[in-house]
Structure formats: C-alpha cells, structure tokens
Structure 1
Amino acid sequence: MNPYVHKLSAVAKQPSRLVIGLMSGTSLDGLDIALCRIAGSGTGTTLELLRFDTKEYTDEFRERVRQVFAKRTVDQLVLSGLHALIGKLHGTLVNEALRGWGVSPADVDLIASHGQTVFHAPQSLTGTTDYPNSTLQLGDGDHLAVTTGIITVSDFRQKHVAAGGEGAPLAAYGDYLLFTDTHETRVLLNIGGIANFTLLPAANGNGNPCFATDVGPGNTLMNQYMLAHFGVEMDRDAQVAAKGTVSEPLLEALCDHDFFALPFPKTTGPELFNLPYLERAQRASGTGSLRTHDVMATLVAFAASAIVASVQRAVQACRNPCVYISGGGLHNPLLVERITLGLTGIPVSSFEVLGLLPDAKEAALFALLANETVAGKAVHATAIFDSPAVCMGKISFPA
C-alpha cells in the first residue's frame, strides 16, 4: 500500500485533524492561511482557529494573474505556467507561515487549497448552452503538496459543477454545519470581490431552506476603478468614496441588469461586473464626465444597494433575522454604514461575534470542506437547497 494512502486513512480515523485552509480571492490582495483544529464531521463538527495570517502578493504576481483573470482570450503559456507557479508560491507561503508559527509541517494533517479563480462560467452567466457550467481555479495541488510535504486537498469547485451545481458559492456547506442556530435566522454575508451570503433559517423555524447565493459586486468594481484611476489596489477606509456624492442616474443604470432579478441561488463574477460594465452604465446615464470621487461613492452605493435588496428579499418569510459580515468589505466603513442603514430593523454585526475571525472565515471553511472530504459524508450537505450533496476536492500526495 502507498504509505500516503495509509496515512490518509489514519488521519480520517483520528478524533481531530490539524488542517491548513487557504483562500485567495478575486481581489488578489494576498493568500489567507488559517491553521485549524477540526474535530468530528457533519453537524457534530467543531472548528478552532489556532493561527491566521495573510501573505500579501507582490505587484508583479498580481500583474501575471491579471493577464488571464476573467478574460476570454489568453496566452496559454501564461495560463499553464500560472497553474504550476501559483501552486509552488502558495506552498512556499505556507512554509513561511509554519516557520513563523513554530509549527512543523509533519504535525499538519492536511492542506485545503481553494486556488485562484481566473474564470467563472456557469451557463446562467455566459448565456450559452454550448458548454456545461464551468469554473477554473489555478494553483496545482500536486505542486503544493510537494513543496510543503503535506497531503493537499484542492480544486473543490469541480465536484460541485460535475454534480450539477454552478461551482459557487460553496460557503453554505461549512456555514450550515458550524453556524445554524435554533432561534435566530442568520445571514452570513461575505463581501469579497463578489458579495455573497448564506441564509441559515432558525433551526426550529417554518421550514425555509438553507442556501448560499451571490448577490452582485462586493469590492471588485471599486478595486478595478481605483487601480485604473488612482494606481492603487483599493480605496483604503473609503477615503476617496467618502469625499464624493452618489450619482442617482449612474446608480440606477448600474442596478439595471437582469442578474438582480434572477431567483436565489445564483452566481456571478468579475466576468460581468467589471470596468466595461461601469462604462456602459455611464454612457446609458450620461455620466461619463463624473468626478472620480463621485464614481467611487456611487460604486459603494451600488454594492450596498445590491446587498440590501437581496437580504431583504431572502429574509421575508424568516423570523429573527440577523446579518453577520466577513470579508474585505467589512473594512470599508462607508459600505458597512450603507448596508446597516439600508437594513432597518435587522441587526448587522461583524462575523467575529460568532467566534471566528472575519478575515479567516473563508480559509477556515475550506479547511472544513477538506475535513468533510476525508472524514465526512456527502449526506451531511443534503439540507442545502439547490446545491449537490457531495464531498469536494482532489487529493494530492507529496510523493
């Protein structure tokens, strides 16, 4: 027997596992690394976050990824090379984090790697049936496993697509297992490049389903605009947007898209919400000469408006709804303020009050997905509406 097969079997039988979760989002800010102690599986899962760090990407690396990011036509040498490069880079960053924490790689049971999404193409977004739903994350698991010496679970979204899903969002699996409450309906809102949430109806409620859905742009349009017009990756603390005034004509044009009327759950990405989308809205609204600060203020209002409308629609039949925010958008005070004001009567809090560091949430949830793949069962996910009950991820051995 391959010794790593034997080791994987032993890991699956342990009462708990030490798992590193990795998340690299569409904002391309860096690699989130979460070291978690996970016990049990299914609804009996417990997760303890032991260490967390974000390793910032270099500008040179970001530019390489942007050569293929959300583009229909790419250089295949770059695409193929990035798959290996990202796997090796993520492995190197994991090794750096472990050294900094004083943790031996031999003590880590699994790495759970999301990879780097470069194209998301469900039929609902592409509008064509020529190809099945598809999504592409770069960062080869074998390179990661060989670089770290740790068994790696990666490429989670492919099983979701293969089983009939759209490959996103996947947060519902971990959210459901860890955070369902008896009395409170929880909306776990993650504001990354794209904003999404998981709806967790109160467990003793009226039978409303649990589901996860994208709702529209989170930070992606704001970040793209800041890079194009100010040469920086983001509007830190909303300093630019706070000096602007919302343009109602532009806001109305931005909100005028069929995506927002689609039923839940649904997925989207920067393939739709990008600078050409903004340019079309400016032409349609006659706001092409708008000041940059006003454009940024309007983009914040656009993201908040999409989030507020979606949450209000989702919780109509639910009791005691509460919203908990994680992701990079939590650090945008203007965006959080607009969301809070828009959701009158619905408490809005940081995800931290649920006992998990907000910035670590997505990485930790991928650690949980790997735990389910190794020690759980597909049946644990049957309560999630319109999402296949599967265990996800491909397993890579270091040798």
Structure 2
Amino acid sequence: MNPYVEKLYGMATQAERVIVGLMSGTSLDGLDIALCRITGSGRRTALQLEHSCTKPYASDFRRQIQDIFAKRTIDQQQLCGLHALIGRTHGALVNEALLGWGVSPEQVDLIASHGQTVFHAPRWLTGDRRFPDSTLQIGDGDHIAVATGIITISDFRQKHVAGGGEGAPLAVYGDSLLFSHETETRLLLNIGGIANFTFLPASTAGGTGFATDVGPGNTLMNQYMQRHLGAEMDRDARVASSGTVNQNLLRALLEHPFFGLPFPKTTGPELFNLEYLHRAQQDSGTAGMENSDVMATLCAFSAAAITAAIQQVLNGNDPKARVYVSGGGLHNPLLMRLIRDGLPATPITAFDALGLLPDAKEAALFALLANETVTGSAAEAYPILGAPTVYMGKISFPG
C-alpha cells in the first residue's frame, strides 16, 4: 500500500487530527495560518485552535498577484509561474509558523489550503453561457506538500462548483457544524475583501441555513487607497472618517442588479473594482471628488450593502437574531459603526464571543473541511440552501 494512503487511512480512524488551515483572501494582505486540533466529524466535530497568525505578503509578491488578479486579460506565463510560486511561498510560511510555535511537521497530520483566488466567474456575472460557473484559486498543493513534508488538501472550491454550487462561500459548512444553536438564530458575518454571511436559524425553529456574498467589504476601499494614496489600507478608517459621504455617488454604487438577486449568490472583485467606481462617478456626475470623500462614500457603500442584506434576511425570519463578525472589516471602526447604526435593534458582536478568534476563523474552517474530506460523511451535513453535499479538496502527497 502507498504509505501516504496508509497514513490517510490511519488518521481517518484516529480520535483526533492536527490540521493546519490556510486562508488568503481577496484583500491580498497575507496568509492566515491556524493550527487546529479537531476531534470527531460531522455534527460531532469539536475544534480547538492551538495557534494562529497572519504572515503578511511582501510588497513585490503582492504586486505580482495584483497583476493577474480579477483580470480577464493576463500574462499566462505569470499565471503559471505564480501557481507554483504561491504554493512554495505558502509552504515556506507554514514552516516558519510551525518553527515559531515549536511544532514539528511530524506533529501535523494535514494542511488545508484555500489557495489564492485570482478569478471568480459565475455565469450570472459573465453572461457567457458557453461555460459553466467557474472559479480559480492558485497556489499548487503539491508544492505546499513537498515544501512542508505534510499531506496537503487544496482546491476545495472546484468540487463545490462541480456539484452545482458557485464555489462560494464555503464557510457555511464549518459554520453549520460548529456554530448552529438550538434556540439562538445566528448570522455569521465575515467582512473580507468581499462581505458574506452565513445564516443559521435556531434548530428548534426549523428552516434552512445558507451562506451568501452580499457585496464589497474592504476590496474597493483597499484598491482606492493603493491606487490614489499609496497605502495598503485605510488604517483605523482615518481617511474615510475625515470625509463626507456623497449621497449621489452612494446611490449610483448601490444600483447594480447584483443587489436584487435572490440569496444565495456570489460575487468578487471582478465586479466590485475601481472601474465599477469610475462608472458610478460618471453616472452620478461626481468625478473629481476629494479622496477623503470618496473613501467615506465607499465605506458607506459597504455598510449599506451589508445592512440591507441582513435586514432582508431578518425581516422574513427571526428578528431577534444575533450577528457575529469576523474578517478584516471588524477592525474598521467607521464601517462597524455604520453597520450598527443601520441595524439598531440587532445585537452585533465580534466572533470571539463564540470561542474562535475572528482573524483565524476562515483558516480554521478550511482545516475543518479537510477533516471532513478525510473522515466525514456528506450525509451528516445540515441542510444548506444552494450548497451541494460533497467532499471537497484534492489530496497532494509530499513524495
């Protein structure tokens, strides 16, 4: 028997597995790494976060990804090369993190790698009926496995698409297993480059959970800061807080048909980018605004899209639901204030109230997906609207 297949078989029957989850989102700020100890599977899953960190991307590395990120016309050689380079880089960052934590690779059963999304193409967005829904994440799992010596599971989103989904959001699988509650309806909001949430009705109330993208989170604000102010982000919302929201531009930004699509739905920077902003400014006659006013309006745009989506869900379900927030947007004080102002009757708190660090949540949930790939049963998944019950991920051996 292949020794790695034998090892997989053995870990599937173990009481627990140690899995490193990796997540790099559309914000392109770095690699989130979460070392998790997971027992059980399915509805008997328990996850303990042992260590976590974010390894920032070097500026040159980030620029190389930005050259091909969410663009229809790119250098194919650069795409091909980055697939290998991102894999090697992520593997090196895992080795660095494990060394810092005093954990040897031999103590880790699996790595679960989300990879780096470079293009997301649901057919509703492309309008191209020649092709099915599709999505592309790069950062080759074989390179990660060889660099670390650890069996790696990667490329999770492809099976979701093949099974009839749009490839996102995937957090709903882990959210439903770990955070469903008997009496409390929960809405788990993640504000990364794109904002999305998982809706989990109280199990005693019945109903079906789902996950959906709702629009831009940080992506437009970050893109604008990088292009016009030479900064990676608007730290502490200093620029946006000094500006004034332009209501004409805000209305133009909110006019896209995406916002009227039913849940669940997906989107990405392929839609919400600086070209989208430019068109909205042209349509609303707001070109030439001060940078601070543009940033204030973009922050209001993200908040308005998020609050409108949450209101739409809660009005038809449990109005007493609680909202738990994770992702980089949690650290934007202006964005969080605007969301709370837009949902005055809804309790909103950081995700660590549920026992998991907000910045480690997505990486940890990919570790959980890898656990399900090895030892779970798709039949045990909670009913999730628009989410196929499939095993996700491709397995790469170190040798």
TM class, shorter-chain normalised? over 0.9
Q: Shift in Å at residue 382 of structure 1?
A: 4.8
Deviations 1:313-356 (A, max 9, x none): 01223222110000000000000000011012110000010000
Q: What amino acid sits opposite 1:364 in the alignment?
A: A
CA distance in 2, matches of 1:116, 1:53: 17
Which residue pairs with 1:122 in the alignment?
122
The 5-angstrom pairing of residues 158-169 of structure 1 reads 158-169=158-169
Q: Shift in Å at residue 58 of structure 1?
A: 0.5
CA distance in 2, matches of 1:143, 1:39: 27
CA distance in 1, matches of 2:286, 2:115: 38
CA distance in 2, matches of 1:337, 1:128: 39
Which residue pairs with 2:389 in the alignment?
389
**Contact between 1:11 and 1:17, CA under 8 Å: does it hold in 2?**
yes
SS in 2 for 1:118: strand
Query: Is 1:151 aligned to residue 151 of structure 2?
Result: yes
Which residue pairs with 1:232 in the alignment?
231
CA distance in 1, matches of 2:341, 2:50: 34
Q: Shift in Å at residue 128 of structure 1?
A: 1.8
The 5-angstrom pairing of residues 269-308 of structure 1 reads 269-308=268-307
- Which ranges in structure 2 are unaligned for 5 or more consecutive residues? none
Q: What amino acid sits opposite 2:332 in the alignment?
A: N
Q: Shift in Å at residue 208 of structure 1?
A: 2.3
Which residue pairs with 2:64 in the alignment?
64
**Contact between 1:326 and 1:359, CA under 8 Å: does it hold in 2?**
yes
The 5-angstrom pairing of residues 244-283 of structure 1 reads 244-283=243-282
The 5-angstrom pairing of residues 35-114 of structure 1 reads 35-114=35-114
SS in 1 for 2:189: strand
Q: Shift in Å at residue 380 of structure 1?
A: 2.5
SS in 2 for 1:131: coil
Query: Is 1:354 aligned to residue 348 of structure 2?
Result: no
CA distance in 1, matches of 2:138, 2:297: 33
**Contact between 2:177 and 2:382, CA under 8 Å: does it hold in 1?**
no
CA distance in 2, matches of 1:277, 1:318: 32
Deviations 1:351-391 (A, max 9, x none): 01000000000000000000000010111225111110011
CA distance in 2, matches of 1:208, 1:13: 33
Q: What amino acid sits opposite 1:281 in the alignment?
A: A
Q: Shift in Å at residue 107 of structure 1?
A: 0.6
The 5-angstrom pairing of residues 156-235 of structure 1 reads 156-205=156-205, 207-235=206-234
SS in 2 for 1:20: strand
CA distance in 2, matches of 1:126, 1:211: 23
**Contact between 2:23 and 2:113, CA under 8 Å: does it hold in 1?**
yes
Q: What amino acid sits opposite 1:265 in the alignment?
A: P
**Contact between 1:182 and 1:203, CA under 8 Å: does it hold in 2?**
yes
Tell me how large the CA RMSD over aligned residues is: 0.7
Q: What amino acid sits opposite 1:291 in the alignment?
A: E
CA distance in 1, matches of 2:125, 2:333: 30
Which residue pairs with 2:18 in the alignment?
18
**Contact between 1:150 and 1:397, CA under 8 Å: does it hold in 2?**
yes
Question: Percent identity, aligned pairs only?
Answer: 67
Deviations 1:169-200 (A, max 9, x none): 10100000000011111000000000000000
